[in-house]
Structure 1
Amino acid sequence: MRRLRKPSEAVEGVRAPRVGKLACLPVFLPLAGRPVLVAGGSDAAAWKAELLAAAGAEVHVCSPEPGDAMRGLLEDAAVDGRLVHHARDWSPDSLAGMAVALADAEDDREAERFAAAAKAAGVPCNVIDRPDFCDFQFGSIVNRSPVVVGISTSGAAPILGQAIRQRIETLLPNALADWAALAARIRTGVMARLPAGRRRRLFWEDFAGQAFSGRPPVGGGRDWEAVVSRLALAGAMETGSVTLVGAGPGPAEHLTMKAIRALQGADVVLYGEGVSGEVLDLARREARRLLVAGVSGKGSPDREGVALAAQLAAQGRQVVRLVPGDGSSEEAAAFLDALHRQGVASRLVPGVGDAADGEAAGVAVVSRRAMGRE
């Protein structure tokens, strides 16, 4: 007979998930005021030059006869940064002092020569449509600056990358740019007024929720100080809570959005041996994960589990107790009732039932996600 581990024997069960294999490292490179080289005057080179100028770079374009798109770009004022035209072909000297360099080469021979010159100058380079000669690649971009989302398929499926970009575009409201700019302005004040921990996280969670409303900040966001003051004063009265989450039949794909939000807001996650690792991976990285016993018998609460959860909540922790299935068992009800009788704030986030119902319920969850109703 399997021996259940008691909460008093609780151990750090599962560490925060490690990063999986990456085909490339997504790096965001500040270029404001820095010189970059664009070798060539083609339409493709013009598009890359426009991106670099939008990032605030000083773009040096080497091309004796730029095409229509490049001429139009050189004649118009850049959104940011500036463009400088050199009416000649590039040379190794052109690379001196550049932050990055790119070229639209006519053939592999020119591409190889450009890449070799860039390497000798210590400048990362990109040769358009010739990945063998590239130190970095351009991905698809969703622009809500200062929020910038980059998407890469490492050249394997550019059309898929564009489809992903289009999907993300529909999810991110244009007003997100205003909220991100506001966050940059108030961040120092928030950090000074709210100590690291739950109250600061509550502020930013509420902030993020408003940012996704689709509406711009009211009054330019000047009322943020009132919210910060309220949270700062509430520190002495701060109490924790316990959320019992039905983890479903096993696979993480059957979790509801409410369950995922609970996991991502938890300070401590208590789980039994029937909960899968992929479900635990959805908790925020900083959360402690503790392996505890199951219930002690039919219709009876897990008394030591109740005691542990209550103790953690009394310390101001947000505790999630994961249980397999939908969380509607007699034991789960007894667990919540025991917490209630001790005056511990607690709630149930129901999950998907047994595996027989999993597929249908999973479809329902996906449908609610698609409609934005969960």
Structure 2
Amino acid sequence: MNIVSSPRSEPCHPRHIDDLAALPVFFKLKGKRAVVAGGSDAAAWKAELLAAAGAEVHVFAAEADAALLALAESATVIHHNHDWSRDTFSGAAIAICDAETDEEAEDFFEAAREAGVPVNVIDKPAFCEFQFGSIVNRSPAVIAISTDGAAPILGQAIRRRIETLIPPALADWAGIARDIRDTVTKRLAAGQQRRAFWERFTDRAFGSAPPPAAIDELTREADSIVAGLGQHQGRVTLVGAGPGDAELLTLKAVRALQAADVILFDDLVSEDVLELARREAKRMLVGKRGGRESCRQDDINNMMVSLAKAGKHVVRLKGGDPMIFGRAGEEIARLEAAGVPVSVVPGITSALAMASSLGVSLTHRDCAQSVRFVTGHSRKGELPRDIDWKSIADPKTTTIFYMGGRTAGEIASTLINRGLPADTPVVIAKAISRPGQRQWTGALYDMSAAIGEMGYDEPVLIGVGEVFLAARGRALPALAAAPF
């Protein structure tokens, strides 16, 4: 009989986690004996870290730096004025050493292992059973980041990124969560009731600092869940997504995206921005683009009200800033009329992103005493006639026209007819802060021809004013620009 072996089959169940370089654990040290060998600043830092975790820290060093001696004045840090020995490890829960040589490191490492004590020799990975990661401290919420010793600087950079996203007040909320957990467990049934409570709690934790009566308020909220007193009221947050580059989002905008149940986003919101949203959030495109089939504003308003009434946290994600030509006023009025709580997170409007990319001050004191943001078209899609064009033609004013691609020629002729010099510097930009960004610099009299070449398949921004004279040579060369 011939026996044919087949390749080993894959496991029938999927893996839930990829390989780990090390197992992340949180080691409780309160009241336990910790050993630190060495009198350096590095040893002092580790001793302080262990003391912060509640350990009784014993430092063994015949010679100690000033930092360690100052730390030894603490009741939880005890300095032994001699070097470590085999007896040092008796009763210890953890052992740290700052060794000058590999021989000393190996001796300490082997002695700790013989005593059954987890050991780390600072900056010598070969003699470490565990590593210290970078820490984001919002205790009792603690986040540790490790690169398995491969790139400590990268770990520190990751820590800084995380710290910017987590408000300091989260530490207070985490403490409240610890204090109220038993109460919640006793009053609420496992499953839906507890999940509803902690989801609401989390929404608060990433907001402002807890009020003095936070525990009383949370207890009443738990009681209302038990009593089934109506459905939880949702809310709407209008969030400015900025011009496209995800790094131009505000921290508050990122937190709102991370807390959303539903995201209603405009066509101009970039994929990079959406990638920062909560994975479980439902995403719905409700964009409005000139010349294309779009969602009606009334439908968007009704959708926000309906979702919020169903208890959802709705994020209305708008390109740029919600309050600059974003129809936020209509949305706020509709939500307030329906009794839906609404808040606004501002964003960087595209005019400011354009000015930054050009290195131009919109209100340079030698050129302009004011700046105006003006819509480039009316509700009917034509040039607005009900604005003060004579005032806009003031040569001491910087004017930014939004959505002016189709009316660029009329804008130029109207400004010239109202007295603005035909050689006034102009910048035309589209897809600002995005990979396809294009810019043209030239003069007002050439603006119509430039927009014809440049096109307006993407939203176009037009800047008019003497401040843009400084933009010559700085714009991304896409078209031949007329000399000023």
TM bracket (short chain): 0.5 to 0.7
> Displacement, 1:277?
3.0
Q: Which residue of 1 aligns with 2:352?
A: 357
How well do the aligned residues superpose, as a CA RMSD in angstroms? 5.4
**CA distance, structure 2, for counterparts of residue 295 and residue 70 of structure 1:** 61
Note the alpha carbon deviations across 1:3-33, whole angstroms, 9 max, x for none.
xxxxxxxxxxxxxxxx9xx998875432123
Unaligned runs of at least 5 residues, structure 1: 1-18, 363-374
Q: Which residue of 1 aligns with 2:463?
A: none
Q: Of 244, 268, 277, which residue of structure 1 is paired with 2:271?
A: 277
Bigger mean CA offset, 302-311 vs 33-42:
302-311
Note the alpha carbon deviations across 1:128-184, whole angstroms, 9 max, x for none.
3445533444567787754667688969677x969x99xx79x987x9877764553
Same amino acid, percent of matched pairs: 45
CA contact (8 A) 1:45 1:70 kept: no
Q: Which residue of 2 aligns with 1:316?
A: 311
Residues 250 and 120 (structure 1), Cα distance of their counterparts in 2 relative to 1, 3 Å cut:
farther
> Displacement, 1:247?
1.9
Question: Mapping of 1:293-308 within 5 angstroms?
Answer: 293-295=286-288, 301=296, 308=303
Q: Of 7, 30, 33, which residue of structure 1 is paired with 2:31?
A: 33
- The structure number with the bigger radius of gyration is 2
Q: Of 244, 248, 258, which residue of structure 2 is paired with 1:254?
A: 248
The AA in structure 2 aligned to 1:324 is G
CA contact (8 A) 1:336 1:346 kept: no
> Displacement, 1:189?
2.6
Q: Which residue of 2 aligns with 1:225?
A: 216
More helix by share: 1
> Displacement, 1:282?
3.3
The AA in structure 1 aligned to 2:37 is A
> Displacement, 1:110?
2.0
The AA in structure 2 aligned to 1:289 is K
Note the alpha carbon deviations across 1:217-257, whole angstroms, 9 max, x for none.
75xx6x63145316744851533234443422111233345
Question: Mapping of 1:59-208 within 5 angstroms?
Answer: 59-61=57-59, 65=62, 67=64, 78-79=75-76, 83=78, 89-91=84-86, 95=89, 98-118=92-112, 123-138=117-132, 146=140, 181-190=175-184, 195-196=193-194, 200-203=198-201, 205-206=203-204
> Displacement, 1:185?
2.2
Q: Of 53, 56, 70, which residue of structure 1 is paired with 2:54?
A: 56
The AA in structure 2 aligned to 1:52 is L
* SS of residue paired to 1:211: coil
**CA distance, structure 2, for counterparts of residue 334 and residue 88 of structure 1:** 71
> Displacement, 1:319?
1.4
CA contact (8 A) 1:294 1:302 kept: no
Residues 282 and 361 (structure 1), Cα distance of their counterparts in 2 relative to 1, 3 Å cut:
farther
**CA distance, structure 2, for counterparts of residue 182 and residue 341 of structure 1:** 32
Relative contact order (C-alpha < 8 Å, sep 6+): which is higher?
Answer: 1
Residues 305 and 121 (structure 1), Cα distance of their counterparts in 2 relative to 1, 3 Å cut:
farther
Residues 183 and 344 (structure 1), Cα distance of their counterparts in 2 relative to 1, 3 Å cut:
closer
**CA distance, structure 2, for counterparts of residue 293 and residue 359 of structure 1:** 25
Is 2:324 aligned against 1:326? Answer: no
**CA distance, structure 2, for counterparts of residue 340 and residue 146 of structure 1:** 37
**CA distance, structure 2, for counterparts of residue 294 and residue 74 of structure 1:** 59
Residues 177 and 245 (structure 1), Cα distance of their counterparts in 2 relative to 1, 3 Å cut:
closer
Unaligned runs of at least 5 residues, structure 2: 1-16, 358-484
* SS of residue paired to 2:230: helix
**CA distance, structure 2, for counterparts of residue 334 and residue 305 of structure 1:** 13
**CA distance, structure 1, for counterparts of residue 326 and residue 57 of structure 2:** 66
CA contact (8 A) 2:239 2:318 kept: yes
Note the alpha carbon deviations across 1:340-360, whole angstroms, 9 max, x for none.
599473757454333x53255
Q: Calculate the TM-score normalised by the size of structure 1.
A: 0.60
Bigger mean CA offset, 101-110 vs 26-35:
26-35
**CA distance, structure 2, for counterparts of residue 205 and residue 112 of structure 1:** 49
Q: Which residue of 2 aligns with 1:13?
A: none
**CA distance, structure 1, for counterparts of residue 253 and residue 356 of structure 2:** 14
**CA distance, structure 1, for counterparts of residue 330 and residue 97 of structure 2:** 65
The AA in structure 1 aligned to 2:309 is A
CA contact (8 A) 2:231 2:310 kept: no
Aligned length: 327
Residues 280 and 338 (structure 1), Cα distance of their counterparts in 2 relative to 1, 3 Å cut:
same
Q: Calculate the TM-score normalised by the size of structure 2.
A: 0.49
